[in-house]
Amino acid sequence: MTTSKIRMPDDFYDQTPDANVLATEAVMNTMRAADMLFEQIGHLLRPLHVSAAGGLVLGLLRDNGPLSPSDLGDRLIVTRSTVTGLVDSLERRGFVGRSAHPADRRSLLVEITPAGLHVVREVRTLIHRNEKAWMSALSDDELHTYIAQLHRLQDSVASASEVAG
C-alpha cells in the first residue's frame, strides 16, 4: 500500500507569504507518518483488547511500579479524565487494579496485575517486532540521525510552546 505524499500547492506563498513551504510539508508529513503508525499499532493490539494508550499505561506500570493517576497523566501528557477512562478500561479487563495510596488515603495507586504483565509482554513483543520492520527502510546510521533530528524538533516545539504559553 502506497500513500500519496503531502505536497503544498503551487500558490502556497500567495496564500501565506510569511510561511515556509518546506516546514509545512515536513509537519504535515510527520503527522501523516505518526497517524499511520498509530493506526497500525491499534490494529495490532486489537486482538489483545488493548488500545495503544492502554499499552503505554501498562508499560509505564510494568517499568515503574504502581503510579498515581496524576503521575500517569503527567507521563502520558493527557488529562486526568483520559487517564481515568484508560484505567477503567484496563481494570475491567483485569490488567490493572486500584488501591489506596499508603502515604495518602485520599489518593489512589494504579498497579499492574499478573494478567496485565502477561499482556504487556505480548504488546511489546508485537510492537517491537513490527517497529523493526517499519523502520527497515532506514539504515542504523540513518536511524541515529533521524532520532537526533526528532529530538531537536521536540526541543524546538517545547521551547516554542513555553514562549507562547
Residue 71 forms part of a structural domain = yes
Identify the domain containing residue 82 by its residue range.
Answer: 51-124
Q: Which residues contact 86 (CB under 8 A, 6 or more apart)?
A: 51, 53, 54, 57, 72, 78
Q: Is 99 helix (H, G, I), strand (E, B) or coil?
A: strand
What is the Cβ-side half-sphere exposure of residue 65, based on CA atoms within 13 angstroms?
1
Is residue 95 within 8 A of residue 113, CB to CB? The reply is yes
Beta-bridged to residue 98, according to DSSP, are 110
Residue 135 forms part of a structural domain = no
Residue 133 forms part of a structural domain = no
**CA dihedral sign, ordered 108, 79, 55, 67:** negative
- Reported as a single tens digit per residue, the pLDDT across 86-135 is 999 999 999 999 998 888 778 899 999 999 999 999 999 999 999 999 99
Residue 146 forms part of a structural domain = no
pLDDT tops 80 at residue 165: no
pLDDT > 70: percent of the chain: 98
pLDDT > 90: percent of the chain: 65
- Reported as a single tens digit per residue, the pLDDT across 20-60 is 888 889 999 999 999 999 899 999 999 999 998 999 999 99
Residue 130 forms part of a structural domain = no
Question: How many structural domains are present in the chain?
Answer: 1
pLDDT for 12 equals 84
* CATH classification of the domain holding 106: 1.10.10.10
Instruction: Output DSSP code: residue 66.
Output: S
Report the distance separating Cα 127 and Cα 47, nearest Å: 13
- The structure's pTM equals 0.76
